[in-house]
Structure 1
Amino acid sequence: MLALEFVSTVRATRSGLVDALSDLPGMTGWGRAHAAELGLGPDFTAADDLRREVVELRQAARALFARAVAPGPPSAADADRLPDFAASLDLVNAAALAVPSAPRLEWPEDGSPFAVNVPAGGTDESSRVRAALASAVISLLAGPERERLRTCPAPRCVLYFIKEHGRQEWCSVGCGNRARAARHYRQHRAG
C-alpha cells in the first residue's frame, strides 16, 4: 500500500531513526522502487527540490496519520515535530489537486479491460509524484482501512500499519517478538 510505504520512509533501526528520503540517492532509490505507482521512468533521478517537497508532503501525511490513530498514540518517530493538522490537510489536498487525472482504458490482448488513472495534461515531475502520493494518502484515510490503521507499540518501532485481524497488535512478527521479550525482561527484572 503506497501510502503506508510512503509514511514508513521514516524507520527505526538498532542505531536509531533512519530517513530513507534524507538525501538524493535515497529519494532516487525509493522513487525507482515505486516508479510504476508514481509514473516515473526507470532512469528517474531525484532533484533536491523534488526531494524536499516530497519530505514536506510525507510529514504532512504523518500528521494526518497521527490524527487518524487518535486517541491512540502517534508514531514516536516524530510526534513532537509534526506540522499543524489543518496546514497538513491543506497541503495533502493541494498536492492531490495539482495534477488532474483521468481514467484511461487498458485492454491487454490476453486479459480483461481495466481502468488506470493517468495525469491529464502536461505537468512537472515533482507535481506528478506528489499528486500520486497525496492521492494514495487520501484514499487510505478516506477508505475503510482508516478504521484499522494503528501505530506499532513495539519498543523502538515507529511504523504505522493496517490491522489485518482482531488479535494483531504489532506491525510485524519481529516487533511482536521484541515487545514480548521486553515485557518478559521487565517482569523478571522487577521480580
Structure 2
Amino acid sequence: MPEPLPVELMNTVRPDEDQLDDAVAWLDPVGPVDLDQLRDLRTALRRLAADATDDPRAPVTAMSRPDALTTLNSLAGLARTELSWPADGPPERTLHGPAVGVIATLGVELLAGEARGRLRACLAPNCVLYFVKEHTRREWCSPNCGNRARVARHYQRHRQD
C-alpha cells in the first residue's frame, strides 16, 4: 500500500543520496514542478514529522520548527480547496494548484489530523524513512527494514554470549 503523498515526498531522501529528481516522475502528470520548493517542503515535512513521532534518529537536514511551519503554511497557500457536489453522489473536496501546494496542503491535513497518531519513523538500522501505520503489527517501513532490524537484534544477542 503506498503512503500518503507527503510521506512519499519525505521518503525521497536516503542517508547517502537525494532521490528527489528520480521521484518527480510521479508528479509529471500534474505539470511543471519547482524542485527547490519541493526540497524545502520535504525538509519542512521531515522536521515536523520528527516532532510528531518523537523521532530519536539524527535529523537528515536541519530546520527549526518555526521555519518548517512557515515553509509548510506558505506552500500550502499555493493550493485551493473546492467543494463539488454532483447530483448523483456525495460532496467531494478537490485540491487545485501546483503540485507543491497540493502536497503541502495534504501535509497539513496529515499532521493536524488523526493520521498523525499513526505516523511513525522507521527505526530499523540505517533507515531514515517514515510510514503511516495501518496495521497494528507493523513496526517498519518495509519488510526489508524489518528483516534488517531482526538480524541486528539476533546479532546483538549472540554477540553478547
Could you say whether these structures have the same fold, taking a TM-score greater than 0.5 normalized by the shorter chain as the test? yes
Aligned to 2:7: 4
The correspondence for 1:68, drawn from 52, 60, 69, is: 52
Q: Which structure 2 residues correspond to residues 1-191 of structure 1 after superposition, within 5 A?
A: 1-11=4-14, 17-21=16-20, 23=21, 26=22, 28-32=24-28, 35=29, 40=30, 44=31, 46=33, 50-70=34-54, 72-74=55-57, 76=58, 79=59, 81-105=61-85, 112=89, 114-119=91-96, 128-191=98-161
Give 1:106 deviation, angstroms: 5.3
Post-superposition Cα deviations, 1:122-160, rounded to whole Å, max 9, x if no partner, equal: xxxxx6222101111111111111112111111111111
Decide whether aligned partners of structure 1 residues 170 and 91 sit closer, same or farther in structure 2, where only a CA change above 3 A counts.
same
Aligned to 1:124: none
Structure 1 alignment gaps of length 5 or more: 120-126
Give 1:170 deviation, angstroms: 1.4
Q: Helix, strand or coil for the counterpart of 1:164?
A: coil
TM-score by length of 2: 0.84
Give 1:113 deviation, angstroms: 5.0
Structure 2 alignment gaps of length 5 or more: none
User: CA contact under 8 A between 2:79 and 2:105: conserved in structure 1?
Assistant: no
Post-superposition Cα deviations, 1:64-93, rounded to whole Å, max 9, x if no partner, equal: 1111112x424x4xx052211101101111
User: CA contact under 8 A between 1:27 and 1:51: conserved in structure 2?
Assistant: no
Q: Aligned residue pairs: how many?
A: 158
User: CA contact under 8 A between 1:7 and 1:62: conserved in structure 2?
Assistant: yes
Which has the greater radius of gyration?
1
